[in-house]
Structure 1
Amino acid sequence: MDRGVTRRRLAAGLAVLAGSGLFALALPASAQAAASTCAGHQVRTVPFATGAVRVYKRDGYVCVLTVPKKPGGRRLMSVSVQARGNRPVTDTGRYSSHAGPVTVHAGHRCVRVSGAVGTGSVHSGWILC
């Protein structure tokens, strides 16, 4: 392949990467937060005293995240999803807006979810069966 063609392709690729990076920086914080949530449509909300676990489904994948009832500073949050027959996928840490998202391929199997914000928590039974 000609060196000129290779250089033009490399330059075009770098321009696309730089443009996408600048676009991400230009987005407001609320749009960036929304971009980090689950794909698909919301099929269930599992509420508890200090927050809720939101469950989304798309093409056999189940995605969950935990959101606090009251927004505020960073606090301990966790979220977990497990497809029947598999191990759970978990995200735990100190977050201000949400824990997760975590995603599993469930196909047509049941899943169970759990979430916690501070001292409140919830554990569902098998759902989406």
Structure 2
Amino acid sequence: MSGGRGSGRIRRRLTLGTGVLAAAVLLALVGPGTASAEAVDGLCAGRKVRALPFSTGRVDIFKSRGYVCAVAIAKHTGARKTMSVSVKARGGRPARDKGRYTHRAGPVTVHAGHRCVWVTGKIDGRGVSSGWILC
């Protein structure tokens, strides 16, 4: 009788061990590349669809499930400088972040659905405007 009970425990442990091993392999294959490709310091969800460079920095744009997120990143960090970033879906109001920052402005996110968006970013008086994109 004890042989039947022991084999059940062994099967459960093997099943658990197999599940843990499968999860570890999956994380090893998927984990390293996705975090850096999907977000700037984990600020925006989704995948990076555009980078808009300009003389004092860049604006990174991300898209995920109808939402568009943008972050303005300074080329040189340290001293506080005036920075701003905004995202506007066609027909909607813009989401904005403006202030004196050392590294970045944003993130700002809007629900765009399938509409075009207009993204702007400015750092120390220099900036970029995308025009209507992601249509």
Could you tell me the TM-score, scaled by structure 2's length? 0.68
Runs of 4+ with >3 A deviation: none
Gaps of 5+ in 1: 1-32
Number of matched pairs = 96
Alpha-carbon shift at residue 34 of structure 1 (Å): 2.0
Distance in 1 between residues matched to 2:75 and 2:46, nearest whole Å: 22
Aligned counterpart for 2:46 among listed residues 40, 49, 59: 40
Matched with 1:13 is: none
Matched with 1:97 is: 103
Matched with 1:54 is: 60
CA-based RMSD of the aligned residues comes to 1.2
Q: Which amino acid aligns with 1:49?
A: S
Q: Does the residue aligned with 1:125 lie in a helix, a strand or coil?
A: strand
Structure number with higher relative contact order (C-alpha < 8 Å, ≥ 6 residues apart): 1
* Greater Rg over alpha carbons, structure: 2
State, as a whole percentage, how many aligned pairs show the same letter.
56
Gaps of 5+ in 2: 1-39
Could you tell me the TM-score, scaled by structure 1's length? 0.71
Alpha-carbon shift at residue 69 of structure 1 (Å): 1.2
Matched with 1:125 is: 131
Matched with 1:112 is: 118
Distance in 2 between residues matched to 1:46 and 1:34, nearest whole Å: 18
